[in-house]
A and B are shown apart, each in its own frame.
Chain A
Amino acid sequence: MKRFLIPLGLFLVLVVFLAIGLNRDPHEVPSPLVGKPAPDFKLAQLAEPGKTFSPADMRGQVWLLNVWASWCVSCRAEHPLLVAFARQGGGLPIVGLNYKEVRGDGETDVKKLGADEESTLTRQRASAWLSQHGNPYVLSALDMDGRVGIDYGVYGVPETYLIDKKGVIRYKQIGPITPEALEQKILPLAKQLAGES
């Protein structure tokens, strides 16, 4: 009887490891940017073409940077939650980063488009999507070629960054924000960060 205990023990250890492995999402790669200053950028805004947005504009506020695109299917799943949250007025402004609106859809050949045409098409598609699904953003910045996305380590849309008053990234949500993630992680942390000077 005793001689079976060691293999049984090893088997149970293996089962535990496999169970942990199966329940982890390999697509959730921890971001090295958490705890680091949010990379700076300057991008044109969606609603007001003449204006640009830079993370420095949000200094002194705790805010969310939500990466989205109209072609992104998971964004559609996440969007109602953001719209409802913004409507509540929780004091946590959401800035949209519209990511590769035209280039990312995989259908439009941007090489045939001029920069102006791409910009026009981006605005058309992004605005149409927001008017159809609701606009939770205080503003959206346009990252047409995805360079800012690379600086933020974006590898799948949607992704959301919680940024503190000093402009440091404090949390990154990979994939759509779920009600649990919002209630249990983002909001408590945002509350705590709002208390910091």
Chain B
Amino acid sequence: MKQRLATLATAMLIGLAPVAHAGEAAPLAADPAVEARMISISEELRCLVCQNESLAASHAELAEDLRREVRSLIREGKSDAEIRDYLVSRYGDFVLYRPPVKPTTWLLWFGPFVILAGAIIGLIAYLRRRAGLITPPTLSAADRAAAEALLAGDPKPTQPKDQA
């Protein structure tokens, strides 16, 4: 790859770039509609070589080959789903950025919700237990009398100490 880039750079430097590019750009210019569909399909697909890149974005050799396959399948009139199936049947569900919902992917799809539900149940249980632990404050008769005196606007409330 690096060597190829280096070769390309050298070619550009000595002014051969137009020649080198002419061949590579051809498929894009040939049919923009096919190219647009190829890109929209392959953006949803994973490149097997650089796994964090989509098939549309990857410069890996295999990605180029697969894009070529996708183009020719589009020209054959295959539907998007058929093209995805073509790749899945060869490389597995792993190529799909949106894995299908099926028993082996249930954990993947529903696991987070199960964890969320568990966390909510745990939180409710914790809050209930905590509510039970807090005893309502008990007010002694003297405190109540003092509070009432304050509310009534008595400037000199009876001190509990004096009463004792």
A: residues with CB less than 8 A from B are 26-27, 29-33, 100, 103-104, 106-107, 109, 111, 145-147, 149-153, 155-156
Contact = CB atoms under 8 A, between A and B. Distances in A.
Nearest to A34: B92
Chain B: interface size category: 20 to 34
A111 B20 CA distance: 10
Contacts of B94: 29-30
B4 A153 contact: no
B90 A33 contact: yes
* A-side interface mostly: loop
25 contacts: A29-B48, A29-B91, A29-B92, A29-B94, A30-B92, A31-B92, A32-B88, A32-B89, A32-B90, A103-B61, A106-B1, A106-B3, A106-B4, A106-B61, A107-B7, A111-B24, A146-B62, A146-B65, A147-B69, A149-B65, A150-B65, A152-B90, A153-B90, A155-B91, A156-B49
Contact of B49 (A33, A100, A151, A155): A155
B145 interface: no
A59 B48 CA distance: 31
Contacts of B23: 111
Contacts of B93: 32
B40 interface: no
B48 to A, nearest CB: 4
Contacts of A150: 65-66, 69, 90
